[in-house]
Each structure stands twice: as structure tokens, then as C-alpha cells.
Amino acid sequence: MRSTTHCSSISIAFALTLLLAASSARAETAENAPANPSDEPPAGAPSDVTPPVLQRFVPAEYPPDALADRLETSVLLELVIDAQGRVTEARVLEPRGHGFDEAAVQAVRQFEFSPARRGDVPIAATIRYGYQFTLPPAEVAPAPPPQTAPVASSPVAPSAPAAPVTPASPETTLPAASESESAQAPLEFGAEATVEAPAREVTRHTLEAGELTRVAGTNGDAMRAVEVLPGVSRPPSGDSTPLLRGASSWESTVLLDSMPIPLLYHFNSLVSTFNSRLLERVDMVPGNFSVRYGRVYGGVIEARARDPKMDRLHALLDLSLWDSSALVETPVGSSTGVAVAARRSNVDIYFDAIAPGGSYSVVSAPVYWDYQAIAAGQLGARHHWRVMGYGSRDSMGFFFDEPVESDPFLRGKLYGRLEFHQVHAGLESQLGRGVEQELGLAFSRNILEQEFGPEINGKLVSLNLTGRAEWRVPASDSLSVAFGLDTQGSRLHGHYHGSQAPQVEGNPNLNQPNSTEEQVSLVATQYAIKPAAYVELGYRPAPAWLLVPGVRADYLSTLREWSADPRLSVRYQVLANTALKAGVGLFSQEPQYYENLEKIGNPDVNLAHALHLSVGAEQEFGKAAQVGAEVFHKRLWDRVVATEGGVPPRFINDGSGRIYGLELSSVVRPSPGTFGYLAYTLSRSERRDRSEPWRLFDYDQTHNLIVAATHQLGRGWEVGARFRLVSGNPSTPVVNAVYDARSALYQPVFGEVNSDRDPVFHQLDLLGQKTWKFTDWSLSVYLDVQNAYNASVREGTEYSYDYSESRATSGTPFFPNFGVRGEL
């Protein structure tokens, strides 16, 4: 049988997709309860800005080890407080270890503030906060927590100790204060309250650490969890990067701490190559993104790694049907933490039992593994550094005893390997007077090796160096400036023999047998340098308005071409919980690497371009629910498409596109252990190749509805569900077939490209987990069920050798991923 699900033309398709305690806590409440604040604003704060005020204090649990050793300290943190008064980020500036850091972070993340204000408009702000851990007298039973009224006003959030403290000097050891002192003593602060940089995108959706690994149907994978967000199309079974607002996977970028990830998913779709338990959050920007990002015109997904835990040794072991993983993290000294993780797939253990029969033998069952190593710490109070090393490998091999009927080239050994290793260093600094600096450098080595029978083989090795630098400067009360450099360099070397490179999107012939395609041999070395610079302003002409204009300039040495892309986003805060937003901008897309290689591509192709337009609104209902709506439009021009018949120069800038739609979203977090997402996208994505008629994009999905929720029942039980209802992807019908005497194969005759559509996709995923907590460790048993009712939805069609018969092919079947996890 032949398939029309983008899996023939195997050599090129494979290459493209792959490359591409509790008592002390009560006493501590008395020590850390908020006091009456000072009414004086901090030095350097903008005159019309009122910093946030702490309204709800949550005591931290005193670390058992520190309690046993009678240790006291103060933990200095940096808190990001959003316009609703929630702590969205908490970062330890000077780690203290012994469990103090984790306890402080856990407590402050539950704080509630009245937000900072510019005039009468709530705004986000960043403050420093010192959390004091003070032991009660050993012979005195701890007193119950005092009843304190909410703080009425304060220029900055009060520091935790009752006695005066300067957060910039957390080494100071303070005596325990009496209850009356806790309730009455005013606090003094030496740190400045700084207003957070303005929002740089019209829309940015965020999955926080507490939710990343708790979405049903994702096997605890953070990158798969982004599928619950609006604007994310459902990728077909076996495809790679998520599809954002009607764009192809290679037209969007995925970053880790601002650096490109060489490979996002193992085998293009299973699990991501970076351990999700080492991530702090994942941001998704479906369009109209900041000038900080470039070289694509789709969207941006950026993950942020977390620092290793600094209180004590932690370890985790997770065993499931999919894979096995381990994670260890520990402090090293007083200001540095390290974490090491590794994972290996388990599919090869039972692959023979589930693999379909056929005239082949398994040389190497599908196997993937990955690893991560992180070291992070502070250099004084103003500099935070992090060094990471991570990598992955996918490999599999088969041997065909006889040639495949539909494609005689597919015979003998079929083998593929994709591997990468990357080192990454970053430094974030507070330079004084509100100036922030962010530096990053990454180096990677990527390897692709493939063999498809005696005629088709290749190996590509690329070396990649990426450097970033950004500075953010508050120029005045109403103006901030961000500017930076973003440079990439690469060397690609390899050999390849196989099919000519085709146009991937909108090409039904992509699936045709290799035997009928022109073969090419290539040995090539390609060097590329891609420097870029950008500048962006955050300007408030009035307290309720925020204008963010910016411009980015890129140069691509392989194309010998410059681009300049201006962008603008506007936000108007109608009410404290209501905002209107809009954006417009130009974006440039670099070609895929093979499209401008000699012999298989055109060295003279140019950048493609897009115009993004969007208008939307956001509404918050207290702190437990948020809803949003956005209308968007994208126009594409100078798309790289294949020439008519694939004749030289093979690729030209003669394609266009148009994408438009509506996104609706809702997020609810009624309690710390419960969250839910609802997202609906109505869209249409079309393409035009050369002068041909307009057609649907390969993965156009008119309707995309997703509902996901997770709830902690208590007593260690947690349940979750995710339901998806999505329009089927477009398809191209086969209307006839012609016998080709040269290849002795039937060749299909296609109808209009993407004029048909697969049935509606629907799937329910379920998650259940039970956790038992012991003194020093916990044990969890979980079951993550994909396609719970085993829906068999057609996602493609297979044909007989002469195309006279056909049958539907479906995607992921019912799969219960059972696992056991132990944590120390």
C-alpha cells in the first residue's frame, strides 16, 4: 500500500523532518508577619509610580534540616508582581541552602499584593524582598501567629523580618522580635522598587512550572502542553514543531533561554528533548512578536530553565512504558547549585511485540535518549549566571528482505540517526540605576545520518554558534529602551545521494516513490553568518497607554541580503482588569537550508516576508479567571516555492499566502491545585504557488477547540482530562492512475491540491495520579491515557499499487502510559 500521509520520498522527508518542622513554622509566622510600612517612596522610584503593597502574607515552612541544626538566615529574592498583584516570578538572588531557598520561594509565590500603579493604572513591577528565618527560643513553645491587618500602603513590599533590615545586606543576623515588635515596628529598605519592563508582545501565553507537567495526554511533557493554548494547531501524527497561527513548523522558532533548540521532539513527535522538570515556564507568542526575535514569520515558543534546588540533595526516578528518567540536584557551596538528568526510551524492549508484520527484520529498534546538566548561582547581589549542557540522540534501523512493492528503492538496510549536543552559558545582571543586562552564548554540534537501501544515503554535520546580548534602560518615568544583538554562525558539511529536494508544503508528489525521482549526489560545505541588531521602546504618553515600537535589522550571508522589520504594539488599560491591545509589524523568513544550496536548490533565493495585524481584548475576573479574544490577519509574500516541474533553478520567491482568524481563550485557577484551559480558534490559512489558484494550507484547521483541566482531590489524588475537537486537515484526492513503463510503477493523477478534507478529529486524554508522602521522600503512581475511547479518525489514505483500492490510516491509538515515580 502507498500512503498519502507525507511519508514517501523517504530520504528527503526524513532528512527535512529530523533536521528540522511545623512548630517552627508557626513561630516563624510571628517573626515574618508584615509590619506597618514606611510611607516614603524608595530612592529612584518614578514620581508617579506607587509600588506594590503586600496584602496577604503566607508563612514559610521552616526547613527540617535547618531546624534540627538551629540555623537562621535571610533569603534575598527578586519578585515579579503582575498588574493584578500576583507573584508571577520569584528568584533567589543570594542562595542560602539548607532548604531555606525553596521554603522562601514557595511562600512568596502565594503572597498577594495590591499592584503597583502608574497614576491610577495598575502595572507590573519588580521588587527585592528579604525573607527572614528566625528560630524560636528552644525552651519556649511557639506562639500562635498574630492576627495582623492587611497593610494599607507601602512603597515596596515589606521584608519578612520584624526588625529593620536592608535587603541588599542579607548576611545580617537578626534577633527574634517580640510579637508586639512584629506588629508595630516600621521597616526600612535600601533596595529600589523598579517598574518591570513593558509587555513586548500583543499576546503572550504562559504555562507556569506548577502546570507544565500536569496536562493530560502529554506524558508530563511541557512542550506538548502548549497545545492547550489558543492559536496552536494540532500537528498531524508524526509531525514536529507545533503549528502556530496557520504557519508551517519551520516558520516558527523554539528557544531555550533565548537560544535555539537544535531538535525539539524525539522522533519528531513523542516527547521533547529537554527534561520538563528542569523548566520554570514556557511562553508562546503566536504572532506579532517582539523585535527581540527574528528570522521567522510564524510564531515563537520560548522555554525558561530553572535553577537547581539549593536547600539539600534532591533526586527523582521515573519509570514508565514510554521511557525511564533520573534527576539529581544539589547545592555546591553556599551560592551554587547543580542538576544532572538523563532519560532513555523503553519502546525497544517491547517493540517486536507491537510492530506490524512485514518482510523486514529489526536491526535497531527505535531508541532515544537525552541528558541535561545545569549549574547556576550568584555573583554578588547583582549577577546571576547559568551554564547548561544538554543533548539527545534518536536512532532506528530495519532491513527489508525484499524490495517494497510500491517503491523498489526501499530495499536492504534502512537506518537513521539524529543527534545533537549543545553547551549554553548565560549571565543576567543588574547594572545599577535600573539598567539590566542579559548575555548568552551557545554552541552546538548536530549530526544527521541516514541510509535507505544501496542508492540513498547521506550524513550532515553542522556546527552552530549563537550569541545574544540585550540591555534594558529606563530613560525616564514614561520611557524605557531595550536594544540588543542577536548573531548566529554555522558550518554545515556533508554528503548526500538521493532524491532532489522537493517543495514540502502543498506538494502531493512529495509522497511518490523514489524510483521515479531524479537522483542527485552532493558533497557540500556551507558557511553562514547571521548578525542582527534591534531596538525597542516602551513609551507611556498617558498612564493608561503603552506604545511599544521597535525595529530589527538582519543580514544573512548565504543570501547576501539585509532586511529591516519595523513593528508596533499598543495596549490601553481601560479598567484595572480590562485591557485592549493591537499590533502590526513586518517579519522576514529565512529559507530552509537546502533551498539555497547549489545542485539541489537556488543560491539566489531571497528572504520571504509577512505582515502581521491583530486586535484583541483581555478581561480578568479577580485572580481566579482570565478570558481573552483576538482577531488576527497575516499576509505572506516572496514565499520560496518550487519551480513548475522542478526545473532549474528549482526554487524561486514566487509564493504568497493569507491567514486570518479569531482566537478565544479562558484560564481558570480557582485554587493552587486546580487549573483549567479552554481555547477555541477559528481560522483559515491559504497559499498560492506561482500563478496557480489559491489553495488551502496543508494543515489548515477551520475549527480547533480544546478543553483541559487538572484537579487535586486531596489525600494525594490528582485527576486530569483533555478533550480536542478539530477540523480534519486538507488532503489531495487521487482521481486516476497511469502505468509508467520506465519504472514499472503506477503513477497517481491528482485532483486539485488540498481540495478534500479529512474527517473531524476528536480525542479524549485522561490522567490519574496517586502520591504517598513520607518523611524524606514521596512515591507516585500515575496513568496517562491517550485516546481514552480509542477514536479511529482518518488522518491519511493508503492506496494499493495501482491506486484502485484505498484504506484510511489513523493516528495515535489507545495508549495507557503507566508509570511510577519516586522523589527524594
The pLDDT score that the predictor gives to residue 637 is 98
SS3 per-residue string spanning 270-324: CCECCCHHHEEEEEEECCCCCCCCCCCCCCEEEEEECCCCCCCCEEEEEEECCEE
Query: In the numeric block, which cell numbers belong to residue 355?
Result: 510492530
Nearest to 267 by CA among 450, 395, 452, 363: 395
Half-sphere exposure of 250 (CA within 13 A, CB side): 18
CA 251 to chain centre: 15
pLDDT value at residue 115? 86
Identify the top-confidence range among 173-182, 500-509, 516-525, 725-734.
725-734
Indicate the range of 235-249, 457-471, 569-583, 703-717 predicted with least confidence: 235-249
For residue 357, pLDDT beyond 70: no
Q: Using pLDDT thresholds of 50, 70 and 90, give the confidence band for residue 242.
A: confident
| For range 170-183, the mean pLDDT | 29
Residue 114 confidence (pLDDT) above 80:
yes
Cβ contact 765:786 at 8 Å? yes
The answer to whether 162 and 181 have CB atoms below 8 angstroms apart is yes
Share of the chain above pLDDT 90, in %: 54
User: DSSP strand E in 99-209: where?
Assistant: 112-114, 116-118, 121-123, 125-133, 194-195, 205-208
352 pLDDT tier (thresholds 50, 70, 90): confident
Given a cut of 90, is residue 569 above it in pLDDT? yes
For residue 662, give Cα distances in angstroms to 87, 285, 585, 659, 679. Answer: 30, 15, 18, 11, 11
CA atoms within 13 A on the CB side of 136: 20
Higher pLDDT, 538 or 793: 538
Least confident of 8-12, 376-380, 486-490, 663-667: 8-12
Q: If you count DSSP H runs as helices and E runs as strands, how many of each does the chain have, helices first?
A: 8, 47
**Interatomic CA distance for residues 108 and 100, integer angstroms:** 12
When pLDDT is averaged across residues 269-276 and rounded to a whole number, the result is 89
Question: Is a pLDDT exceeding 80 seen at residue 751?
Answer: yes
Are the C-beta atoms of residues 21 and 78 closer than 8 Å to each other? no
Instruction: Give ∠ CA 579-580-584 in degrees, rounded to 5.
Output: 140
Cell numbers 493523477: residue: 749
pLDDT digits (tens, 9 = 90+) for 510-547: 766 565 667 888 898 999 999 999 999 999 999 999 99
d(CA 286, CA 7) in angstroms, rounded, equals 28
When pLDDT is averaged across residues 145-155 and rounded to a whole number, the result is 34
The 3-state DSSP class for residue 690 equals coil
Q: State mean pLDDT over 648-668.
A: 96
Cα 726 to Cα 604, 676, 684, 706: the distances in Å are 39, 19, 13, 8
pLDDT at 194 over 60: no
CA–CA distance, 96 with 105 (Å, rounded to integer): 12
pTM: 0.79
CA dist 252 and 553 (Å) reads: 18
pLDDT band of 124, cuts 50, 70, 90: confident
**pLDDT score of 405:** 63
E strands present in 511-650:
519-530, 532-539, 545-556, 561-575, 578-589, 608-621, 625-642
Taking only the tens place, the pLDDT of each residue in 17-42 is: 333 333 333 333 333 444 333 344 44
Q: Is the peptide bond before 649 cis (omega within 30 degrees of 0)?
A: yes
For the chain, the average pLDDT equals 83
Checking if the pLDDT of 604 tops 90, the result is yes
DSSP 3-state of 330: strand
Amino acid 623: pLDDT = 77
> 235-249, 345-359, 512-526, 711-725: lowest mean pLDDT where?
345-359
Query: Cα(25)–Cα(132) distance, rounded to whole angstroms?
Result: 12
Identify the residue with better confidence: 811 or 7: 811
pLDDT per position as a tens digit, 763-781: 999 999 999 999 989 999 9
What's the pLDDT band for 172 if we cut at 50, 70, 90? very low
Q: What is the pLDDT of residue 482?
A: 96
- CA-CA distance, 379 to 430, in Å (whole number)? 11
Q: Look at residues 8, 7, 415, 417 and name the one whose alpha carbon lies nearest to residue 239.
A: 7
* pLDDT computed for residue 359 by the predictor: 54
Q: Which pLDDT belongs to residue 41?
A: 46
pLDDT digits (tens, 9 = 90+) for 64-94: 878 877 788 888 888 989 888 889 888 888 7
Q: Looking at residues 448-468, what average pLDDT do you find?
A: 91
Mean pLDDT over residues 480-496, rounded?
A: 96
Q: What percent of the chain has pLDDT over 70?
A: 82
Whole-angstrom distance, CA of residue 668 vs CA of residue 670: 6
Q: Count CB neighbours of 738 within 10 A.
A: 11
Q: Can you state the percent helix, strand and coil of the chain, rounding each to 5?
A: 10, 50, 40
H or E segment at 19?
helix 10-19
Higher pLDDT, 78 or 300: 300
| pLDDT of 216 higher than 60 | yes
48, three cell numbers: 508617579
